Amino acid sequence: MDKEEKDIDECLDWLDGAGTSGRPGDEDLHELRRMADDCNRVFARKAHDAPDVDAAWRQFRDTHRASRRRRLRRAALWGGWAGMAACLAALVWIALARPEAEEHEPVMMFTAVHESQEVTLSAEDGAVWELGDRRAGQALDEQGIAADERVADYRKTEQTSMQTLTVPRGKDYHLVLADGTEVWINAESRLHYPARFTGDTRTVRLEGEAYFKVARDEQHPFVVETAHLKTRVLGTEFNLQSYAGEASSVTLVAGRVAVQTDHSAEQISLMPGQELTLEADGTSPTLQNVDTYARTQWKEGYFYFDRASLEEILHGLGRWYNVDIELDCDPALLDYHLHYVANRHGTLAEALEKLNNLKRVTVVQEGNRIVLK
């Protein structure tokens, strides 16, 4: 006999002893209504929140254990067909409303890529260097660019050509621009920038995610362009995320920025601790206060998701470990919001163990694939 059947049998035992005469009082009716309400909260189907039924049963049982003893002592007052019918109806409703396991066709929600997993630097003349390669370091050093597998520094270069730094999945990179601005570039991201700024503005273009610590220069504003945003600053620190097909965001850590979307000429000013988000199509700008610590821990080597959807967490894991992610369960699970922290430099197995320890979902690794069950 499983736990659910045992709990129902206990309720039936209670009904069997529920007296033969008398009319329930107001307190009894109130108790029954409260019990029914709890049943509804425990077992109601919600498209966005598949319940942890076992945990809910335990909470429901513990909450009503004491009141059940009182009702047993007042069994004589619970006679009559009305009280019995109400209780039996509640039991039938519980049995019928309890969510049944449904079969779902597996869906691939994130796909691994099979391309170079090295950080590369491309120049407008067509030259391409893998920054982990010693020969690339020597060639760039001749141009005044100090670069290795972790950081590139342009402060001594006299070059002015456009550069493109591409960071693959599973890696991040630290860039120091010619003006002293520092940029931490996250996995699966690309930054376009001049080797040395020469115009009235210092303009770069980002695809993906990066954290900017901008060197102050009031005469030459710093501008970051993305697919749907243009962020203008003088000297400040902020995180900018703009992955293709996903929501975009600008999170201000220090200083002040003005953001313009491609759907409006109006500029939106942010103060420290504020974040502007856009839908994937660049619409619906939303300004809100956020915990900037949570938004920027990726550059410190951590996955840090606070009240984030499971879908967002899985995308972060897939992007870092470059694995397929398959959904073999109710898609509503993706809307679970969780607090999840893990070391990005640990193994995929360790990251999944931490996720499974939250006891809300089951995620297994099958080769180079994550399956959500």
In this prediction, residue 19 carries a pLDDT of: 42
Q: What is the CATH number of domain 301-372?
A: 3.55.50.30
Q: In this predicted structure, what is the pLDDT of residue 59?
A: 58
Task: Name the nearest CA neighbour of 204 among 187, 169, 179.
Answer: 179
Q: How far apart, in whole angstroms, are the C-alpha atoms of residue 299 and residue 78?
A: 64
Residue 1: what residue type?
M
What are 230's two structure tokens? 């243009």
**């009240």: which residue's tokens?**
307
> Can you tell me the mean pLDDT for 223-233?
96
Show the DSSP H helices in 227-363 as ranges: 292-296, 310-321, 348-356
For residue range 161-171, list pLDDT tens digits in order: 999 999 999 99
**Which residues lie below 8 Å from residue 321, measured CB to CB, with a gap of 6+?**
169, 170, 348, 351
Report the SS3 class of residue 25.
Answer: coil
Domain range list for the chain: 3-97, 120-297, 301-372
Q: What residues contact 333, with CB distance under 8 A and at least 6 apart?
A: 50, 310, 327, 361, 372
Tell me the pLDDT tens digit for each residue of 36-72.
Answer: 444 444 443 343 344 454 555 455 455 555 554 554 4
Q: What is the mean pLDDT of residues 290-308?
A: 95
Closest Cα partner for 221 from 236, 239, 242, 207?
236
d(CA 167, CA 184): 10
What is the pLDDT, as a whole number, of residue 263? 87
Q: What is the mean pLDDT of the chain?
A: 82
Query: 288 - beta bridge partners?
Result: 275
Q: Confidence class of residue 132 from pLDDT cuts 50, 70 and 90?
A: confident
**Proportion of the chain above pLDDT 70, given as a percent:** 72
**CA distances (Å), origin 259, targets 10, 86, 203, 263:** 61, 59, 14, 12
pLDDT digits (tens, 9 = 90+) for 63-76: 555 554 554 444 44
pLDDT at position 76, please? 40
| Cβ neighbours for 58, distance < 8 A, ≥ 6 positions apart | none
**What's the fold here for domain 120-297?**
Jelly Rolls (2.60.120)
The predicted-structure confidence for 71-119, as pLDDT tens digits, reads as follows 444 444 444 445 544 544 554 454 445 455 566 688 899 999 988 789 9
Q: What are phi and psi of 36, to 5 degrees?
A: -65, -40
